[in-house]
Chain A
Amino acid sequence: MNRHYMFSLIAVLLLFLIAYVGVAAVGLEVLFGIIIPYAAIVVFTVGFIYRIVGWARSPVPFRIPTTCGQQKSLPIFKQAKIDNPSTKGNVVIRMILEIVLFRSLFRNTKVKVKEGGKLFYGYELWLWLFALAFHYAFATVLVRHLRFFTEPVPQWLQLLENVDSFMQIGLPGVFLSGVVLLAAVTLLFLRRVLLPQIRYISLANDYFPLVLIFGIAFTGILMRYFIKVDVVGAKELAYGLVSFHPTIPEGIGAVFYVHVFFVSVLLAYFPFSKLMHLGGIFMSPTRNLPTNTREVRHVNPWSYPVKVHTYEEYEDEFREKMVEAELPVDKELPPEPEEPEADETSEEKE
């Protein structure tokens, strides 16, 4: 037992009960089907922008090169152009590969002492694999849901659905992305619970999104394959939301509202949580800055303009007195050859 994941499990269970009882017993369909989803999408969008702007206001004056290859140097050294980019174009390539393939996660290594006391370093690719499966499955599920929010359903979306269900298992046809999402989120959760080192550093805010996403995928699969929610009614409600004519069709069932409530909670929770890595990845200084520390001098833009009095200014001010006192000076007094002396003599004459 661990209070961190117990807290998350109980929180999601409570959310389930709130929505289920709220709809099935109290009849708050309008609250859970219209008001909360609208509020959630507003909180998500505004909160997301707020967080990004907050990050954009943090100056990053210097390069933080956590690189994985040779920096640009003399022509005899071959530069690792993507792992240690020195131009914007190569940075864009590094960013795209990071976002699409999670290359940083791929470099995840493990250390262990092998038999005979030999130290062993090796790739640890399971996390990378499950993370990749999870993100792509979630993205596919998310995009697929646009069929509830668009009419007519765009051609490319139908193509995606066909690809996702191409195994033609059962009826209604199994969408592979949903199964992969549920499996991957379960494994990511179990990883945190079962591995002692990971459990030690995991907090409630690590477990909660995983449990919540599990709840979303679970209720979704339940509705599609098992309890057979009225899909036309579900679309009527969803379409009503995005066309600003919200309606509550009869008889969709409480599980549907639980699903919508879970998604609303996830959206509203998003900007204030670790899930903001969706936006944060674009703002990562270690990934989005070219490593040109040797080519360009980076000046701290927020350096306070300290009022200084340099030695040169000091000497300018006191040079005559210094010369009089026979102190050494960097710059001699302006040569006063003939003319000034002549002036002085003429003054004396007057």
Chain B
Amino acid sequence: MPTNNKRMYDKGMVLAGLVIFVVVVTFPFWYNLGKAAPPPEPVLTEKAKAAEKCVESTEFMKAEHMQLLDVWRDTVVRDAKRAYINPEGKTYMMSLSNTCLDCHDNKADFCDKCHNYASVRPYCWDCHIDNPKETE
């Protein structure tokens, strides 16, 4: 009998391995079966809508807000400077609680929407819980 190319050796083991392979590779496909996840739409409060513009442009805030906050924190804590002047010359107080959360006081509908979607857990909220007004 010449070599039979149709035959698989250790068929059980190989097939079991291939089944595991397919299950692992297709994990994202079957994990999400029957689930719909529309992209998040952060809700602006009336106050934020009325202000029309944030500290910086929307595009800038969308991409850079985390870095802005990081710089703010370091500037306030290390240099004790609290004034932020944006490109239009308007001055803001560098404060997450007093400036950002003043307009965006709806954490669950604004911040958390995208953060949860993108699986980002910023440690802002470790200290700044439920918008406590800072006292100075």
Q: A232 contacts B117, CB within 8 Å? A: yes
Q: B119 contacts A243, CB within 8 Å? A: no
Q: A305 contacts B1, CB within 8 Å? A: yes
Binds A, one of B24-32, B44-52, B87-95, B100-108: B24-32
CA A149 – CA B1 in complex, angstroms? 50
Chain A 239-252: CB-based contact to B (< 8 A → 1; otherwise 0) = 10011100001000
Chain A 57-71: CB-based contact to B (< 8 A → 1; otherwise 0) = 111100000000000
CA A151 – CA B29 in complex, angstroms? 11
The answer to whether the Cβ of B9 comes within 8 Å of any Cβ in the partner chain is yes
A157/B119 contact (C-beta < 8 A), A57-B7, A232-B40 known: yes
* Minimum CB distance partner of A170 in chain B: B70
Please give, as numbers and ranges, the residues of chain A lying within 8 Å of B1 by CB-CB distance.
Answer: 302, 304-305
CA A302 – CA B70 in complex, angstroms? 69
Chain B 67-81: CB-based contact to A (< 8 A → 1; otherwise 0) = 101100000000000
Q: Which residues 216-237 in A have Cβ within 8 Å of B in the complex?
A: 228, 230-233, 235-236
Q: Which residues 78-128 in B have Cβ within 8 Å of A in the complex?
A: 114, 116-123
Q: B2 contacts A304, CB within 8 Å? A: yes
Q: B67 contacts A52, CB within 8 Å? A: no
Q: B9 contacts A279, CB within 8 Å? A: no
CA A279 – CA B64 in complex, angstroms? 42
- Minimum CB–CB distance for B63 against chain A, Å: 4
Binds B, one of A42-50, A100-108, A256-264: A42-50
Q: B39 contacts A56, CB within 8 Å? A: no
Please give, as numbers and ranges, the residues of chain B lying within 8 Å of A147 by CB-CB distance.
Answer: 118-119
The answer to whether the Cβ of A158 comes within 8 Å of any Cβ in the partner chain is yes
- Ordered by A's residue number, 6 sampled pairs between the chains whose C-beta atoms are within 8 Å are A53-B8, A56-B9, A232-B39, A233-B39, A243-B37, A302-B2
CB-contact partner of A150 in B28, B122, B123, under 8 A: B28
* Minimum CB distance partner of A282 in chain B: B17
Q: B62 contacts A230, CB within 8 Å? A: yes
Please give, as numbers and ranges, the residues of chain B lying within 8 Å of A228 by CB-CB distance.
Answer: 63-64
Chain A: interface residue count, which band? 35 or more
The answer to whether the Cβ of A83 comes within 8 Å of any Cβ in the partner chain is no
Please give, as numbers and ranges, the residues of chain A lying within 8 Å of B7 by CB-CB distance.
Answer: 57, 59
Chain B: interface residue count, which band? 35 or more
The answer to whether the Cβ of A153 comes within 8 Å of any Cβ in the partner chain is yes
Q: A239 contacts B119, CB within 8 Å? A: no
The answer to whether the Cβ of A293 comes within 8 Å of any Cβ in the partner chain is no
- Minimum CB–CB distance for B75 against chain A, Å: 14
The answer to whether the Cβ of A146 comes within 8 Å of any Cβ in the partner chain is yes
- Minimum CB–CB distance for B81 against chain A, Å: 19
Q: B117 contacts A172, CB within 8 Å? A: no
* Minimum CB distance partner of A230 in chain B: B62
Please give, as numbers and ranges, the residues of chain B lying within 8 Å of A249 by CB-CB distance.
Answer: 39
The answer to whether the Cβ of B66 comes within 8 Å of any Cβ in the partner chain is yes
Please give, as numbers and ranges, the residues of chain B lying within 8 Å of A305 by CB-CB distance.
Answer: 1
Please give, as numbers and ranges, the residues of chain A lying within 8 Å of B17 by CB-CB distance.
Answer: 52, 282
A151/B66 contact (C-beta < 8 A), A49-B18, A304-B1 known: no
The answer to whether the Cβ of B14 comes within 8 Å of any Cβ in the partner chain is yes
CA A51 – CA B119 in complex, angstroms? 36
Q: A243 contacts B36, CB within 8 Å? A: yes
CA A161 – CA B116 in complex, angstroms? 13
Q: B28 contacts A53, CB within 8 Å? A: no
Please give, as numbers and ranges, the residues of chain B lying within 8 Å of A232 by CB-CB distance.
Answer: 39-40, 114, 117-118
CB-contact partner of A149 in B5, B9, B28, B67, under 8 A: B28
* Minimum CB distance partner of B17 in chain A: A282
Please give, as numbers and ranges, the residues of chain A lying within 8 Å of B25 by CB-CB distance.
Answer: 41, 44-45, 48
Q: A45 contacts B118, CB within 8 Å? A: no
CB-contact partner of A153 in B3, B64, B119, under 8 A: B119
CA A239 – CA B6 in complex, angstroms? 39
A242/B14 contact (C-beta < 8 A), A158-B119, A235-B118 known: no
- Minimum CB–CB distance for B46 against chain A, Å: 24
* Minimum CB distance partner of A233 in chain B: B39
The answer to whether the Cβ of A286 comes within 8 Å of any Cβ in the partner chain is no
CA A45 – CA B31 in complex, angstroms? 18
CA A10 – CA B114 in complex, angstroms? 38
CA A41 – CA B25 in complex, angstroms? 9
* Minimum CB distance partner of A302 in chain B: B3
Q: B39 contacts A236, CB within 8 Å? A: yes
